[in-house]
Structure 1
């Protein structure tokens, strides 16, 4: 073992480091580190790498690398000669193109450009030729000039020789069904009034789902004829023909679904009571039941009917 290798090994052991630790720190292979400690520099890549490896090793074990190289310069070879001996790569001379090859290259490029232009022209021409004619032209060509005609079926009056045409039946127009509309009209007391259009008969449906809920239905307004009043069980469905204004009071709006001809009526969908006036649109000022229009119902709502159960969530 050389003096330099012994110095480095002693410094490493004093710090409690192994060769694997030095290898991890300096990124120098372990066999090169062993060669430096043993003084066998023959397996190292060269004198330049010897100096570099010794310097990195010294820094890793806490020694001054310049001082170590100065003290043990007799063991570390100088690296100046190696740099001078390295061969300088010589760039191979670029082969010059001859004049004939340049001319052939230009001719080939021009020929390729002309071929490309001809190809574009052929593609465009084929597209124009194979394009379908106008559909109107096809229809005219397929339509015969004259159709086979049949003798008229006109009735000839044998008595006077006059010709009477057969009456042409007229098609009965099919009435178009106007969709049902649910429109918020106004706030009448505690109730929300909704106008139902168009004019005609509609069907009101109230469905209780998810639990029990108080349900009250009256004709005309909150003091009108009682059509239904009970704590409705889950699954209850009440349907009524909407030929007049109906007053609806539900205890749990979140458990009831109110629709007119399948169109939902907004009820707030909350865990509380909701009062509504469902008013069908009529063309005359007198409602179908012969009573005054919404004035009575409005007065009942604004005056606060005494027999109306506000606490509707009785379960």
Structure 2
């Protein structure tokens, strides 16, 4: 028992020989932490932590800050902040650093209550994203004319996958094979354009503000896919690589327009028939009598 008492007394004497800075440094090294890691955790400049370790209090902003830094350092390495704070006060008193200001100010740069939680930052970022998307939709849909373009017009398919624009602004294919009603439909943005794709039940399939050059492939198994956009003129539509008539030719909102291959081919064929009827009616005397 006497030996134990002597050993404990010896340990206490050895502990008292260590300064607050040495205790902090030893605790840091036992946890395999670099001073850079402690600086990142406590948000205290590395030079101030180094000054505390070597007891260079003149290099610190002031007595109150030195004690606050020391307490934060202690918490970061698992020591008692109260014990380190008391020892720092004693060491600074011995070096002639008087308490020029009340130490009850409690400066604690790493106090969790003063740091915004990560969850709050993520929520704020999410709200910002929702507001941005809402603004884009409002600008595209609400600010467009209330009446929707039925996109029917004198367009026609010819027999090629080479696109050209007629005087009326509608695109048509020239000199190749007619696109298949079961082909793959691809929408390509020629300018920045917002669009929403949904099925016949109103279920959203795709919604985004596409940049120029971005594409969207309409799923082959989609049930009656339709489109809503305020810039149909900013989209090029192809079926198996064949350019088909534009969905619209101006900055005018279209809605509930079918974009399946079958719907696009049927629309183009209907437009072609209507154009032919108008041409015949314009020349009633063109039939020869035998």
Shared fold (TM-score greater than 0.5)? no
Structure whose CA Rg is larger: 1
Q: Which has the higher contact order (CA 8 A, sep 6+)?
A: 2
* TM-score, scaled relative to structure 1: 0.27
Q: Which has the higher strand share?
A: 1
